[in-house]
Amino acid sequence: MRKDKITAERLTAFSDAVFAVIVTIMVLELKAPDEAAFSALWPLWPTAVSYAVSYLFIAIIWVNHHYLMRFVGAPTLGLIGINFVHLFMVSLLPFATSWIARTRLASPPVVFYAGLFVCIDIAYNVFEHQVLARADTAHVSALMRRMARRRSLIVLASFTAAMLVAFVAPRIAFGLICAALILHLRPEAASRSS
């Protein structure tokens, strides 16, 4: 049993390290203006907004990932594999964030950004399903599983809608992405209702 726990802890530690590297890479894209005036900050608003949303998204992903890892016993090869897929998708966020910032929320970059959120969420949903399916019923009730599934499907639908809306209204799509993130702010909410 101790060996299983160490394996789950190692998976958590590796994932935490990847999240830290992703945030570090993303912050390197923030460039200070050459002028020594507050007015020089105004043209940077797309970078600041896209960075803030991406940072919030990574923080939410990390909190939800950390919350789920409490229920992992001995990680299976499938769980480790989907964790790597999930982390790979998240690792593309700095690129997508930079692209939407540099193009000032133009349609193709926002479509790509929303599409990336769809891919990240699909990988997370598979990860979440595998963790909760194997979790002890004393810790994860049937109601919690249903609530987590429902929330995951709503968020996935929201990201998909944002991707489609981004073709014609990228700023509205960006707002939809932000709204969808709110649903994942409290991972323990479903377990409290059980």
pLDDT at 192 over 70: no
- Coarse DSSP helix, strand, coil percentages of the chain, rounded to the nearest 5 percent: 80, 0, 20
Query: Domain range spanning residue 68?
Result: 2-192
At residue 8, the pLDDT reads 84
Q: Which residues, 6 or more positions from 109, have their beta carbon under 8 angstroms from its beta carbon?
A: 96, 99, 100, 102, 103, 170
Query: CB of 180 within 8 A of CB of 162?
Result: yes
**Per-residue tokens: 14:** 């590796």
Question: DSSP class of residue 101?
Answer: H
pLDDT at 1 over 50: no
Dist. CA 100–CA 57, nearest whole Å: 15
Mean pLDDT of the chain: 88
Look at 30-39, 152-161, 182-191 and tell me which has the smallest mean pLDDT: 182-191
Query: CB of 159 within 8 A of CB of 177?
Result: yes
Query: CB of 97 within 8 A of CB of 57?
Result: no
Query: CB of 72 within 8 A of CB of 131?
Result: yes
**Per-residue tokens: 31:** 């460039």
Whole-model pTM: value is 0.86
Number of domains the chain contains = 1
pLDDT at 24 over 80: yes
Dist. CA 28–CA 40, nearest whole Å: 19
Closest to 191 (Cα-Cα) out of 128, 151, 125, 147? 147
What CATH number is associated with residue 13?
1.20.1410
